[in-house]
Structure formats: structure tokens, C-alpha cells
Amino acid sequence: MKTWMAAVVLALAPLVACGPSEELTQAQEDVVQLRKENATLKTKLTDMESALKRVSQERDQLKVAATRAATTPAPVAAPAPSKRSPPATRK
């Protein structure tokens, strides 16, 4: 950990000591861009999580309905009365 921190300090010390430079300005712009992208991705993730929750609830409701339908016998339909017309007479 100490070695890592020392490497970071040594790498950034010239940038800080020299004042604003092109590299530092570019790095700051990159940070701003990455933060915007991160916010966008977090919003998309939140939307996807809510969609997943909604779909999971719908799936659970369908499972319950299917279980109920499987356990209750379906009503037997009575045959429809026949509507035959009297036989046609031939001439």
C-alpha cells in the first residue's frame, strides 16, 4: 500500500508542482466526462432494475394463476342443443 501511494505521489507531483498544464486540464475534462457517463449508466441501471422488478412480479402473478388453474377443475361445458332444420323435400 505504501509503495502504491508513493508511486501515485511521484507520478502526480510534477503535474501539481508545475501548475495547470495541458495534461492536467485534459485529465480534468476526462474526469468530468466520465462522471457524466457514470451518471447516465446509473440512471439506465435504475431503469433496468425497476423493469426487472415489474417483470418478476408479473411472472410471480402468472405462476400463482397457473397453479390455481391447475388445481381447480375446469367446468364441463354442456353440449349445445342441436338446431337441425327439418329435412328438405325433393321435388
The rounded distance, in Å, linking the Cα atoms of 86 and 29 is 91
DSSP per position, 9-20: HHHHHHHHHT-S
pLDDT surpasses 80 at 26: yes
The 10s digit of each residue's pLDDT in 59-91 is 999 999 998 888 876 666 666 666 666 666 666
